[in-house]
A and B are shown apart, each in its own frame.
Chain A
Amino acid sequence: MYNSHMRIIKENPNIIKLAVDALKQGGLVIFPSETTYGIAADATNPMAIKKLNNYKKRPIGKPYSVAVSNIKMAEEYVSLNNTARNIYKEFLPGPVTVVSYGKHKLTKGVESETGTLGIRISSYALVCQIVKDLRVPITATSANASYMKRPYKISDILGNISDKQKGLVDLIIDAGELPHNEPSTVIDTTLDDPVALRQGEIKFTDKNEVLSRSEESTQNIAKELFQKYESYLGKRPIIFALTGEMGSGKTQFTKGLGKVLEIKEEVVSPTFNLVIEYGKLTHIDAWRLQKPEGLETLGFLKTIEDKNMVIAIEWADRVMSEIKKQREHALIIWVKIKYGKKENERLISWGTL
């Protein structure tokens, strides 16, 4: 049975009020956008979100991105860092979803389990006006049920959903067949939050600095540094906690450790795998870890039980609190790599804790 309330109305200037009223009453509204047809619910109304979950038939735990009308409105619901601000400035309004840390003001289940929230500002005027008049964010998920085809026209939707699902929809705004644009691109900005700053600066008890002029020389500095502290091995494992911007040479430094430890395999970037074990050398990349505690799930504590182990941790500033806890059990050498003045120059400084 069709819901007698479901109305399909051609896009017209008066439809904004109808849509806003329906949303205010907790209804679901299917609307056209610059990507596909979307389905809107008031993101602050638990009943509306529940209805949307039933419509989408999506598994629990999948978050929704939401549409707002401008950056000011976005800031009410998420914390924007510099990366996010730049993206808003350059790419919004448009088919881009920007993920930031949420302020937990929306209905549970809209934000992700880790508290992040995806925000869109539509370049489709109708959508923007609806959000503006409603004054709260609406969900901006596509109007198909999960795993069904992308909806570019109303029949794409109605042909693929049950009568029960149709009964959940209050209003469909029909703008004909939309251009077949791709869905929005998702950009996560949360990794650019300055975790290191929150954990405080590293203070060296002793301080040394050398200039590296090439990748090879960075590798050689690593070799020499290792040899300086090599005698500790067997009594305690050695942790090289590496910090430095992207492309500064943290992996090159670890390659040098690989050479001096006579590792036959090629030491490569562990960014994707998070941890790579090469016999007596364990190479960890903390860049993608969302919390310092993530270090332990990579087997960190077990690794440092081996008193002959050398551990290189890239982006160590992101997991500093966890590394510091091991001060008694391991020799910790902090290595900072900075870009120098000339193309291939790097300033490498180090110190023990």
Chain B
Amino acid sequence: MIILSIDTSCDETSAAVTDKTKVISNIIWSQASQHADFGGVMPSLAQRLHKERIDWVVDRALSTAHCSLSTDIDAIAVTVGPGLAISLEVGISKAKELAQKYNDILPALKSGVSLQRRMTYQRSIHLRSKLRSVLECCYKPIIPVNHIEAHLLSPLASPSTDHRPPTTFPALGLVVSGGNTQLILIEKIGKYKILAQTVDDALGEALDKAARLLGLGYPGGAILEKIARVGNPDAYTLPSPLIDDKIKNRFSYSGLKTAMYRLIEKEKPLTKEKIYNLAASFQEVAFDHILNVLSYQINHQPLAISHFLLGGGVASNNLLRSKLRKLLRPYEITLHVPYTKKLCGDNAAMIGVCAYLKSRNAKNLNAKLKSIDREPRMKIA
């Protein structure tokens, strides 16, 4: 099953072609990485940029994959939420436009209609309405996808056909990005239970804000990781968030952020070495908080778990990966991460893979075009 997928949920305009779980092309035009609007956004500008770029990105995804939309693509997948409403809108209307415009039967039917013109008026009306209903069935099916679910399942994407990591369900998943921090029980694909989520800042957001407190611009999560590698994580003591929670089913970064602010004020003026050590110390505590909640949840999990999926922008952080691997090893749980870091940030290939995994049950393919709409606050469970 070959899917053209589109994602415009936030700053990236992205389109991809996937075959089952195999990624054939994955084109991302970032409004961020080219430093156009790095941390800052201008919602109306973001929408305009998506509109300007979507055609180029879709064409590029198809041409890189050597695919023709009308003959090779079986379905179109698109992110419907969560995300910025006016950005989501761009991807959804593009998906609808393509679904209606490109199908195998339309050209044939059109010529058919002109042949029928000689028929009696009565019969032609009857025929036209019949044709219309046939046409609607011929639209390329659109598969609406939840962006978070796509991040969650992104480790299942593969560079070659049917080379999917052997996962069994139930499994655990963690989505960590600028907008989300969710620990999820995956009972099976499509059925999820949230075990813990943030009550204030997302992990990625907390890292970005710490970088900003250190004077590293915003968002600086990526540079924080880079300089933390050289810093000493034990140089400073920062308080572990929610250490007193008996039932560990939430994350919080507001207290840690405050402690970081106070510590930086105390340490000013900052030297390069201090910045490195502060970055390392903050990252360490921020990640250990995730591990504390995770180990509680594993210990209290009645179901047998042997696989763990890690997705989202912060999933590209090597320290987080190695900490998770170490924690999971004694439980004999295998950590799965996206096969390339490109699949960690926002991208359309994960949308296509998620659409395939969900639509194997075929139910999802019958969504009516009209009923597909943006859901800025879409939930996964």
Contact = CB atoms under 8 A, between A and B. Distances in A.
The CB with the most chain A CB atoms within 10 A, among B42, B86, B202, is that of B42
- Name which of A63, A118, A185, A268 has the most chain B CB atoms within 10 A of its CB: A268
A247 B39 CA distance: 18
B111 interface: no
Contacts of B47: 297
Contacts of B202: 268-269, 272
Given A114-B42, A191-B40, A83 B217 contact: yes
Interface in B239-293: 254-255, 257-262, 270, 272, 275
B23 to A, nearest CB: 14
B43 A99 contact: no
Nearest to A96: B223
B45 interface: yes
Interface string A228-250: 00000000000000000111110
A182 B327 CA distance: 28
A96 B275 CA distance: 16
Contact of B52 (A61, A63, A186, A247): A61
B45 A114 contact: yes
Contacts of A82: 215
A90 B213 CA distance: 15
A273 B179 contact: yes
A197 to B, nearest CB: 17
Nearest to A273: B179
Contact of B218 (A96, A188, A294): A188
Interface stretch (B29-37, B65-73, B153-161): B29-37
B56 interface: yes
B200 A290 contact: no
B41 interface: yes
B223 A185 contact: yes
A291 interface: yes
Contacts of A107: none
A188 B275 contact: no
Contact of B179 (A97, A98, A272, A298): A272
A297 B86 contact: yes
B257 A246 contact: yes
Contacts of B179: 272-273
Given A97-B35, A272-B179, A247 B254 contact: yes
Interface in A242-284: 245-249, 251-252, 255, 266, 268-269, 271-274, 276-277
Nearest to B177: A272
Nearest to B47: A297
B254 A187 contact: no
B106 interface: no
B220 interface: yes
A246 B258 CA distance: 8
A274 B29 CA distance: 21
Contacts of A274: 41, 43, 84
Contacts of B38: 99, 116, 186, 188, 190
A293 B42 CA distance: 9
A246 B198 contact: no
B212 interface: yes
B205 A114 contact: no
A251 to B, nearest CB: 5
Nearest to A185: B223
Given A90-B275, A192-B217, A268-B198, A273 B40 contact: no
Contacts of A13: none
A113 interface: yes
Report the contact-size class of chain B (Cβ under 8 Å from the partner): 35 or more
A62 B34 contact: yes
Given A59-B53, A112-B35, A185-B223, A249 B41 contact: no
B262 A343 contact: yes
Nearest to A215: B254
Interface in A279-317: 288-291, 293-294, 297-299
The interface size bin for chain A is 35 or more
A59 B56 contact: yes
A112 B34 contact: yes
B205 A246 contact: no
Contacts of B49: 61, 113
A63 B200 contact: no
B212 A246 contact: yes
B36 A191 contact: no
B369 interface: no
Interface in A40-98: 59, 61-63, 65, 82-83, 86-87, 90-91, 96-98
B275 A191 contact: no
A189 interface: yes
A277 B377 contact: yes
A137 to B, nearest CB: 15
A246 to B, nearest CB: 6
B336 interface: no
A288 B179 CA distance: 13
A246 B213 contact: yes
Contacts of A97: 35
B223 A187 contact: yes
Interface in A91-125: 91, 96-99, 112-114, 116, 118
B209 interface: yes
A192 B35 contact: no
A339 interface: yes
B82 interface: yes
A116 B213 CA distance: 22
A195 to B, nearest CB: 10
B12 interface: no
A188 B217 contact: yes
A113 B216 CA distance: 23
10 contacts: A61-B53, A91-B272, A97-B35, A147-B27, A188-B39, A188-B219, A189-B217, A192-B212, A246-B213, A297-B86
Interface of A: 59, 61-63, 65, 82-83, 86-87, 90-91, 96-99, 112-114, 116, 118, 147, 185-192, 215, 245-249, 251-252, 255, 266, 268-269, 271-274, 276-277, 288-291, 293-294, 297-299, 339, 343-344
Interface of B: 27, 29, 33-45, 47, 49, 52-53, 56, 60, 64, 82-86, 178-179, 197-202, 204-205, 209, 212-213, 215-220, 222-223, 226, 254-255, 257-262, 270, 272, 275, 376-377
Given A91-B272, A188-B219, A268-B199, 8 more contacts: A97-B35, A99-B217, A112-B37, A247-B260, A249-B254, A252-B200, A288-B39, A289-B41
